[in-house]
A and B are shown apart, each in its own frame.
Chain A
Amino acid sequence: MRFNRIAAVVERHLYDARHNLERVTDTLYWPVMDIVVWGFLTVFLAQRGNLRPGLISFLLGAAVLWGMFRAFQRDLAVSFLTEVWSHNVMGLLTTPLTIREYLSGLLIINRTPPKTIAESAAS
């Protein structure tokens, strides 16, 4: 594994975030929506007295975890799909980039805090 090639994958998606605010809003918007919706549901159930106190934090924690996994798989898939949509896969497959390096780059960029991506997009 070569660091420069992993960095190239990260760099490519940071440039994309700079020009494509949908990517940044996707990263921020859907997890927030999930937490708000599950939060309201939890509050509603708690007010009706149908939930034991421990279950409230359990449900909210589950919502956060669910949101995280969902965002993670979606961002990973969309990152690859953007290469397919832009016909860039052939270009990438004919460089020394390995599948491991490509996936490592995607993992890094998709776990970069949204704040950092937003800052990069704004710069």
Chain B
Amino acid sequence: MQDVVIEETRVPGTRPSSELKKRLWRNKWLYVMITPGILFFIIFKYIPMFGLVIAFQDFKPFFGFTGSEWVGLEHFKRLFTEPDFLNILSNTLILFGMNLFFYFPVPIILALMLNEVRITFFKRLFQSLVYIPHFLSWVIIVSISFVMLTMDGGIINELLVFFGFEKVNFLLNNGWFRPVYIIQVIWREAGWGTIIYLAAIASVDPGLYEAARIDGASRMRQVWHITLPAIRSVIIVLLILKIGDVLELGFEHVYLLLNSMNREVAEIIDTYVYTAGLRQGQFSYASAIGFFKSLVGLILVMLANRLAKKMGEEGVY
């Protein structure tokens, strides 16, 4: 405290800056409080961002960031000429498209259905049950699926046999990887995803429904003309966020489903970065892929946000 006071008397002309100093000093404990958090963000978020320079180097762990040789855009050139990568990119985009097309609408529809439920007990029970999978790890979910889908006594294959069908090798089959993936995503997240829509629906003025009913609007019409427009901006915000996650399909989930039989369709950017980078030690090349992915995600989010704003919506930032 004293230092500041002395300084203030010494330099009377510099009022704004000394006021700032005073405020900084008064809030010194606040700065102490945010320091651990800021250190966390710097060390584990920002240093890795700058660490992306290794994508332009021939990085050798022994020489470190500073000692490794610079190779410019070589890794990126390799990236786009390698046939493997195009396959991986298209796998990634297909899963993303499936997420958008098959998963994204499900929570909206569920929330609209749930909003029509008048029995509070039923509503509560339904919510308690469908929120559960969100809290289970991918390891648990994939494990449950494996136990149920295996040819060796899994319940699904037993049911198929019971109804007179052939057994299907769901887990080691190229064609089944994507359906299994998206069903797991829906099973895990659809229920939890309703929360935010339900909150938006709850804020709709009940008078609107009253007026619509007096005008003779049916249930469906009320949903279409009142509820849906009311949650429009929430839908758009979530859509933007989803698009930003374009290449963020969940490393864990895909990695757990990945095996030598379905690699052709199941290898995505995330899993490839892991294999190429950490398993095979191609740190620089894998970082270049990761960099490309992060950049595409960032650009897409900005584009989607701009588009939303042009359409008169708020956007996410």
A and B: partners?
no
